[in-house]
Structure 1
Amino acid sequence: MLIDALNWLQNLSVRNALFAFAFYYPLLMAWLWIIGGIWFYLRRELRRPALPQFDQTARGCSILIPCYNEEQHVTDTIRFALATRYPNIEVIVINDGSTDQTEQIVEALAKQDARIRIVHLTNNQGKAFALRAGALVSKYEYLVCIDGDALLHPYTVHWMMDHLLSGPRVGAVTGNPRIINRSSLLGKIQVGEFSSIIGLIKRAQRTYGRIFTVSGAIAGFRKTALHRVGYWSENIVTEDIDISWRLQLDHWDIRYEAQALCYLYMPETLKGLWSQRLRWAQGGVEVLLKYGKALFHWKARRFWGVAFEYLLSVGWSYAMLIIFMLYFTGLVVDLPESWYVASILPQVYGLFLGVTCLVQFFISLWMDRRYDQGRILRNYIWVIWYPLLYWILSMLTTVVALPKALLKRSKKRARWESPDRGISV
């Protein structure tokens, strides 16, 4: 048997090795996510727990809303935050040097409700700085942080506070973002993505030990935990990934709560989608470079699976790039047999991977049906196009993000720009 294995390795061509990795990595991860997601669902969601009850003596919660040039959505965001049913809240709006009418809008709203507090930053300092400023002036130990265009479900704070109050080592809770804008193909595919990909992955990661990142659009935090790790990093392009890693490497627990709903807008143009996913990819590489040494400690062992999977995802992107390059090079140059790629169209193995994806999409959409008004089939029709578009997008953004992160020299604050909020209809 050993001789057979050695002969197989000797005969393994570069092309076959690349194809094997490109096929088996997503196949293995899909089934790990399915199994982990099902386990989480059976243990924590199947028997839906009763809504946590809080009265006027409940511990307070500060809702932080950092915003930059959000005049179009900030009114709705603040009103939805104020409409939360949790009995003891304050809403802190951090206006991060907006150049539109955001300042005037939030000032007018603050005069109508005493629960609104405003922090004005003269110049744009970035989301991480804005969140830290809001946390430092907050009255309460527990924070719920949302984006400037996000709409809180009335009971989201209930579910988050239930976790944060359940134990002293719970440092953060990540919620369940849902997409509002569905007027384009990109928007509709993203509805399916958040329902069938992101939610399933967070369920599985929670089952296996650690969560790669909280949602930047909706997350709850214990201020003591944030203070211990130094709050959000101001020079990382994705402050949500960075704070997730630092909290968990400091042995704080991060929970996932599917019933902590938050509705938000997502990019519906290729340019906006590219900018968003490139930022996500670069942020992942930056935190891996920043905290890579810490992962070698035995105390960080529960984080090894998440970090290793991310390393594999980066390797998969470059493997796919090389396959594409070999194919197109082979069209104009004679390559050795071991390097020649005859076709990039799905073969039998591609069909098997496609079937696995369809199974994954259906299972995860079924789990999330209660959070999307039971639209399983409608979302399923659009999400089946996800691999065609988003796998290529993920590959390209990762390939670009790695050298961009490696060559990054500046330690300046990661300031934000007004993102693509979708197509107005």
Structure 2
Amino acid sequence: MDILLFPLMYPLFMSIYWIVGTVYYVACYERKLKRKVDKDIGDMGISFLIPCYNEETTIKDTILNVYNLEFPNKEIIVINDGSSDHSARILEQLAQEIDFKFINLRDNKGKANALNEGINHAKFDYVMGIDADTIIDNDGPYYMIQHFKNDSQLAAVTGNPRIRNKKSLLGKIQAIEYTSMVGGIKRAQSVIGKINTISGVFTLFRKSAVEHVGKWDIDMITEDIAISWKFHLHKYTIKYEPRALCWMLVPETIGDLWKQRIRWAQGGQEVLIRDWKRGLTAINIPLFTLIIEQTLSLIWVYWIIGALCWMILHINFLDIYYLEYQFTLILLPALVLTFINVLQFTVSLLIDSRYEKLNLITFIFLSWYPVFYWLLNALVAIVALPKALRRKKGAFATWTSPERRNEE
């Protein structure tokens, strides 16, 4: 097999796997879900944990949204993680108007530490972790908590995030991504039994499961990926609930998007480095499959670099036939990959249209989006790996917040 074939065929294989998994999940499970919500929850209650760092433009709307949810048995716990803006003052003023617990941490020690502080004050058996820019659909908590009634091994139910700020081109691109990539991947992973990671922006946890695995890791840059793998290693399950919707703000500049994706890639690599030995020795086929998938994704990136370097060193610009061969070898799989990705996006958009009507103009971006997605994944993986290898165990993984423009 030519050295160029693996980097070209790997994304093609993954796209086909996601399409098949998505269609199978919808056909065998999702199409049977009822849109009418069951509000019979008995005495089950939720403690909403809202960690906050420099979110003065969004935090009030998020708290008021949760406060106004119809869900009856709830408490709101807001953790200000040493914000340097006016977040603390806004929260102090709001606490005089509505009832919620306000934990004001002096120093910024990261989202995981803030969540750990919040869960220590939670009175209910279930805790909902949401970001400070999240707006939750009224029925979302009902859909999610129903899963815990008859499944003692269920640790978390992750929801279906949607995009609030879709006016910019970057917002439209990410709206496509969350619909076609994030939702599709979670559906496909649900088929094999292991969702790679919960969505940190909107997930309902069983409090006892969080405590059993040692809570959130303060030294991991992405607390959601880290705790997901801890659940897997302790033989807990994670479910995806597509009917539980929330709306969030996404980065609107290339710089902020780049920082976000570096953090995501670094977080995934940190977990893989930490847990791969335990995962491979565990008698758990879905977890083994998940580790192989993550490892191949990393190998794919560096194979691309090696293949391009090999091609440059061995290319003979005077050999026209050789150049035509190399061009054909790259062009044909690329065209097939583009077609498969457009098919994947179209299928996912049609499926998710039952939850949110997306503007059909988004289909314009489908043809060239695969190039953007795979190229971005490759670049961030390369930059993130040295950061992941330098992780300091026990050190607080602090966070930064992107600039917010709270628009619909």
TM-score bracket for this pair, using the shorter chain length? over 0.9
Q: In structure 1, which of residues 157, 161, 167 is the aligned counterpart of residue 141 of structure 2?
A: 157
* Deviations, residues 138-174 of structure 1 (Å, cap 9, x unaligned): 1101011100111111111111111123321110011
Separation (CA, whole Å) in 2 of partners of 1:406 and 1:374: 40
Separation (CA, whole Å) in 1 of partners of 2:74 and 2:366: 37
Q: Which residue of 2 aligns with 1:396?
A: 379
Q: Which residue of 2 aligns with 1:75?
A: 60
* Deviations, residues 6-25 of structure 1 (Å, cap 9, x unaligned): xxxxxx4xxx13x2212221
Report the 3-state secondary structure (helix = DSSP H, G, I; strand = E; otherwise coil) of the residue aligned with 2:298.
helix
Q: In structure 2, which of residues 376, 382, 389 is the aligned counterpart of residue 406 of structure 1?
A: 389
Separation (CA, whole Å) in 2 of partners of 1:331 and 1:20: 16
Separation (CA, whole Å) in 1 of partners of 2:339 and 2:203: 33
1:312 partnered with 2:300: no
Q: Which residue of 2 aligns with 1:288?
A: 272
Q: In structure 2, which of residues 55, 69, 78 is the aligned counterpart of residue 93 of structure 1?
A: 78
| Structure 1: gaps of 5 or more residues | 1-11
Q: Structure 1 residue 421: deviation in Å?
A: 3.7
Q: In structure 2, which of residues 212, 224, 236 is the aligned counterpart of residue 252 of structure 1?
A: 236
TM superposition score normalised by structure 2: 0.93
Q: Which amino acid aligns with 2:290?
A: V
Q: In structure 2, which of residues 180, 184, 201 is the aligned counterpart of residue 196 of structure 1?
A: 180
Separation (CA, whole Å) in 1 of partners of 2:376 and 2:341: 17
| Structure 2: gaps of 5 or more residues | none
Q: Structure 1 residue 342: deviation in Å?
A: 4.5
Report the 3-state secondary structure (helix = DSSP H, G, I; strand = E; otherwise coil) of the residue aligned with 1:397.
helix
* Deviations, residues 207-258 of structure 1 (Å, cap 9, x unaligned): 1110100001111100100110000000010100000000111011100001
* Deviations, residues 28-83 of structure 1 (Å, cap 9, x unaligned): 21111111111111222213314343358431111110000100001111111112
* Deviations, residues 352-390 of structure 1 (Å, cap 9, x unaligned): 111111111111111100222254x33322243321222
Separation (CA, whole Å) in 1 of partners of 2:270 and 2:328: 31
Q: Structure 1 residue 320: deviation in Å?
A: 2.0
User: Superposition pairs for residues 54-203 of structure 1, below 5 Å?
Assistant: 54=39, 57-114=42-99, 116-203=100-187
Q: Which amino acid aligns with 2:61?
A: D
1:26 partnered with 2:11: yes
Q: Structure 1 residue 91: deviation in Å?
A: 0.9
Asked if 2 retains the 8 angstrom alpha-carbon contact of 1:324 and 1:344, the reply is no
Q: Which residue of 2 aligns with 1:9?
A: none
Separation (CA, whole Å) in 1 of partners of 2:54 and 2:345: 35
Q: Which amino acid aligns with 1:71?
A: E
Report the 3-state secondary structure (helix = DSSP H, G, I; strand = E; otherwise coil) of the residue aligned with 1:353.
helix
Q: Which amino acid aligns with 1:149?
A: D
1:277 partnered with 2:253: no
Q: In structure 2, which of residues 197, 204, 216 is the aligned counterpart of residue 220 of structure 1?
A: 204
Asked if 2 retains the 8 angstrom alpha-carbon contact of 1:56 and 1:87, the reply is no
Separation (CA, whole Å) in 1 of partners of 2:379 and 2:328: 16
How many pairs does the alignment contain? 407
Report the 3-state secondary structure (helix = DSSP H, G, I; strand = E; otherwise coil) of the residue aligned with 1:258.
strand
* Compared CA separation, residues 210 and 355, structure 1 to 2 (3 A): same
* Compared CA separation, residues 93 and 343, structure 1 to 2 (3 A): same
Report the 3-state secondary structure (helix = DSSP H, G, I; strand = E; otherwise coil) of the residue aligned with 1:137.
coil
Separation (CA, whole Å) in 2 of partners of 1:403 and 1:340: 37
Q: Which residue of 2 aligns with 1:264?
A: 248
Separation (CA, whole Å) in 1 of partners of 2:232 and 2:362: 33
Report the 3-state secondary structure (helix = DSSP H, G, I; strand = E; otherwise coil) of the residue aligned with 1:266.
coil
- Greater Cα offset, 162-171 or 223-232: 162-171
- Greater Cα offset, 82-91 or 248-257: 82-91
| Percent of residue pairs identical | 38
Q: Which amino acid aligns with 2:30?
A: E
Q: Which amino acid aligns with 2:229?
A: W
Q: Which residue of 1 aligns with 2:190?
A: 206
- Greater Cα offset, 415-424 or 147-156: 415-424
Q: Which residue of 2 aligns with 1:48?
A: 33
* Deviations, residues 312-356 of structure 1 (Å, cap 9, x unaligned): 111111122233444555689999x99999549951222111111
* Compared CA separation, residues 50 and 393, structure 1 to 2 (3 A): closer
Asked if 2 retains the 8 angstrom alpha-carbon contact of 1:66 and 1:147, the reply is yes
Report the 3-state secondary structure (helix = DSSP H, G, I; strand = E; otherwise coil) of the residue aligned with 2:221.
coil
Q: Structure 1 residue 411: deviation in Å?
A: 3.6
* Compared CA separation, residues 109 and 406, structure 1 to 2 (3 A): same
Report the 3-state secondary structure (helix = DSSP H, G, I; strand = E; otherwise coil) of the residue aligned with 1:371.
coil
Q: Which residue of 1 aligns with 2:223?
A: 239
Q: Which residue of 2 aligns with 1:416?
A: 399
